[in-house]
Amino acid sequence: LFGHIFVSFICLYIYCAILNRLKAAKLLTQISPHDLLTKFSKVYAYQVGEGTELSEVPKRVRDLSRKLNYPIFPN
């Protein structure tokens, strides 16, 4: 039971953090936190040998990352 409550709390914290980032970037009227996570989930990381490669990052996802100040994708 405590594990379930803890995981729910972490999920709520992440949701609120994304919501605050969207509010700060004035994007909340255009995209919801759930939509943002859905768009970001289209990028995959593949293990190639000893390194990691990313799949193609869609332009919309790269733009959202830049607007939200999330530098998670390499140039």
CA distance 3 to 13: 15
pTM: 0.75
Pairwise CA distance, residues 21 & 64, whole Å: 11
Q: CA-to-CA distance for 14 and 28, rounded, in angstroms?
A: 16
Beta bridge partners of 47: 52
30 to each of 25, 36, 71, how far by Cα in Å?
Answer: 11, 10, 21
Q: Tokens 């996802």 appear where?
A: 61
Asked if residue 75 has pLDDT above 70, the reply is: no
Residue length, the chain? 75
Higher pLDDT, residue 9 or 75: 9
Q: Read off the pLDDT of residues 10-55 as tens digits, 9 standing for 90 and up.
A: 999 999 999 999 999 999 899 999 999 999 888 888 888 888 888 8
